[in-house]
Amino acid sequence: MQTTLLANGSKIPLLGTGTNTYGKEGNQYRGKLNGDFSALKSAIQEGYRLIDTAISYQNESGVGKTIFESGIPREEFYITTKIPSDDAYIGSRKAVEQTVLKSLENLKTDYIDLYLIHQPIDDEEKLKYTWEVLESFVDNGKIKSIGVSNFTIEMLEAVHNFARIKPAVNQIQSNPHTWNHEMIDYMLKNDIVPEAWGPLSKVTPEQRAKLAKIAENYGKNWGQVLLRYQIQRGVVVIPKSHNKDHQISNLELFDFELTKEDQFMIESL
């Protein structure tokens, strides 16, 4: 698996799997938890090692159990989780500490590779102490890297101004509906790794047809060229699938390179 470098010198895989509907009835985000992690088991079996979960997905412990029971050494995985921005989790320093400790317990691990603040925190004081607590967990080795999600450029700059440890990653939506090109350019220039959520979502039939046409040049499919476009410009992708064939297809991104012309066509879809 190819990786990209974070500002702290550690490596993050360019491709991983999302998990937000795993372990849920009907494969629905708001589906009742049913403990069915067969899709994650399949993803791990096919070779996914970056696993992206979050407290708000309510499946952290099932994700942790599935990773643990895979029998694959912990150090081969790259586990990401996220702290919600509600008071129940960040209402005080103590609450933040307890949330992180609970994630460690849920994920059955001694350390978490990447811990993100899931949504912007409007209250400056809360944002500051939440970040400071995350920094303290980096200091004690329980978290390797910290970052944010769904932060704007202004919010990134606000964190940058007080952070002792700079945000390594900002996980944001990026797909043909909402590319966030300007934000991604900013991050690439400022040593913050962009990570795209929903990388295969919101693609219209017309866009899919255009992507499929480009993909013909490489013997690939629409999803593969779309994901390749992102990793080729240094954006980590975390596509999620309940379908084994799709999981396999989404892994096959490292044996071709898009031309500048095709990159331009995709970026202006």
Residues forming contacts to ligand NAP in the complex (CB under 6 A) are 18-20, 52, 118, 149-150, 171, 197-201, 223, 238-243, 246, 249-250
Nearer to ligand NAP, 92 or 178 (CB): 178
| Bridge partners of residue 175, in order along the sequence | 178
Alpha helices in the chain (DSSP H): 38-46, 60-69, 87-90, 93-106, 124-139, 153-162, 181-189, 205-216, 222-232, 244-251, 260-267
Report the nearest approach of ligand NAP to the CB of residue 16 (Å).
Answer: 9
Report the nearest approach of ligand NAP to the CB of residue 140 (Å).
Answer: 25
Nearer to ligand NAP, 84 or 234 (CB): 84
Report the nearest approach of ligand NAP to the CB of residue 222 (Å).
Answer: 8
Catalytic residue among 57, 78, 89, 115: 57
Does residue 89 carry a catalytic annotation?
A: no
Burial class (CB in 10 A: 0-12, 13-18, 19+), 233: middle
Residue 5, both tokens: 């470098």
Report the nearest approach of ligand NAP to the CB of residue 246 (Å).
Answer: 4
CA gap 50, 76 in Å, rounded: 9
Nearer to ligand NAP, 93 or 120 (CB): 120
Report the nearest approach of ligand NAP to the CB of residue 149 (Å).
Answer: 4
CA gap 79, 169 in Å, rounded: 14
CA gap 183, 188 in Å, rounded: 9
CA gap 24, 53 in Å, rounded: 13
CA gap 225, 130 in Å, rounded: 38
Report the nearest approach of ligand NAP to the CB of residue 184 (Å).
Answer: 15
Closest Cα partner for 184 from 73, 193, 256? Answer: 193
CB-based closest residue to ligand NAP: 18
Whether 266 contacts 225, CB under 8 Å: yes
CA separation (Å) from 135 to 6, 129, 154, 162, 227? Answer: 16, 10, 21, 12, 32
CA gap 82, 100 in Å, rounded: 9
CA gap 266, 144 in Å, rounded: 34
Residues assigned a catalytic role: 57
